[in-house]
Amino acid sequence: MQNTDVIVVGAGPVGLTAALALRQAGIDVRVVEAGADIPDELRASTFHPPTLEMYEPYGITAELLADGLICPTWQVRLHPSGERAVFDLAILRDDTRHPIACNASSRSSAVSSTPRARPRTFNARATGVTQDGDTATVELENGTRLPAKFVIGADGARSAVRQALDIDFAGDIYPETTVLVTTKFPFERHIEGLSNVSYCWKPGGNFTLMRLKDLWRVSVYPRLTKTSTPWSIPPA
């Protein structure tokens, strides 16, 4: 017997945003999350104008702008010469209410601060989903079965929901390794003219500098040699 309209598997930004929108529309939603709390990993950090507009009705945009760092420009630059192309987002002022980007540490925590987006079930790892007539049932690792009218699989690259439905993950991974570092080193004092979002290219490779409120986020792309082994996604 169904006891909810929609079950969302995964409490990352996609799952929480889906739950928030559905609950705002009066639909009963249950979010289940494998972890013990909201994931707060530093992944994508930049909120662009369409996302800021999407979150505005829920009050999340105001929180992001208050706690994050406004980015009126972003740039692509050559290093170490400093030649650069700077893109001024103010050109979008007639097309959006937010002609800026905003760097913040975690989209998930920003969304989860809205009570209507909060998960109801933590420590609940989904292992699969089945369908019987008009009912979809999420199967959890502890043996619990949760029925609903619909299930949204937002449980990441190794999605148990997608695997249970035998749905391929289309596309390819980037043929590179990314090393993400956060530091309080003041790059702005040593590299002239940095934007808060700067994509930097140098002979033999590239790196990205994104400034957050209290630190810099640095993405480095090391070159793989013939003897090095690419990193891979570990098994679930």
Mean per-residue pLDDT, 141-152:
95
3-class secondary-structure state, position 143: coil
Cα–Cα dist 152/161, whole Å? 8
Q: For residue 61, give Cα distances in angstroms to 28, 69, 104, 172, 231.
A: 24, 12, 11, 32, 35
pLDDT of residue 119: 66
**What are the backbone angles phi and psi of residue 56, rounded to the nearest 5°?**
-55, -45
User: What counts of helices (H) and strands (E) characterise the chain?
Assistant: 6, 15
3-class secondary-structure state, position 162: helix
> Smallest Cα–Cα separation from 33: which of 120, 91, 161, 113?
120
Contact 206, 221 (CB under 8 A): yes
Q: What percent of the chain is modeled with pLDDT above 70?
A: 88
Among 47-56, 115-124, 221-230, name the most confident range: 47-56
Mean per-residue pLDDT, 168-189:
86
pLDDT of residue 231: 45
Q: What percent of the chain is modeled with pLDDT above 90?
A: 59
For the segment 34-61, what is each residue's pLDDT rounded down to a tens digit?
988 887 766 777 889 999 999 999 888 9
Sort residue 59 into left (φ over 0), alpha (ψ -120 to 50) or beta.
left
- SS in 3 state form for 81-92? CCCEEEEEHHHH
| Predicted confidence band of residue 209 (pLDDT cuts 50, 70, 90) | very high
> Smallest Cα–Cα separation from 117: which of 127, 129, 107?
107
Residue with tokens 């104008």: 49
Which of 27-41, 91-105, 181-195, 217-231 is predicted with the least confidence, judged by mean pLDDT?
A: 217-231
3-class secondary-structure state, position 211: strand
Amino acid at 118: R
Cα–Cα dist 95/44, whole Å? 24
Mean of all residue pLDDT scores within the chain: 87
Cα–Cα dist 17/11, whole Å? 9
Q: For residue 148, give Cα distances in angstroms to 7, 68, 115, 180.
A: 6, 37, 22, 39
Residue 67 has pLDDT above 50, yes or no: yes
> Smallest Cα–Cα separation from 208: which of 84, 83, 75, 109?
75
Compute the C-alpha angle 43/202/200, nearest 5°.
Answer: 40
For the segment 1-16, what is each residue's pLDDT rounded down to a tens digit?
567 899 999 988 889 9
Residue 114 has pLDDT above 90, yes or no: no
Residue 235 has pLDDT above 50, yes or no: no
Which of 84-93, 117-126, 143-152 is predicted with the least confidence, judged by mean pLDDT?
A: 117-126
Residue 226 has pLDDT above 60, yes or no: no
3-class secondary-structure state, position 163: helix
Q: Is the pTM for the entire model greater than 0.75?
A: yes
pLDDT of residue 1: 52
Q: How far is CA 224 from the centre of its chain?
A: 26
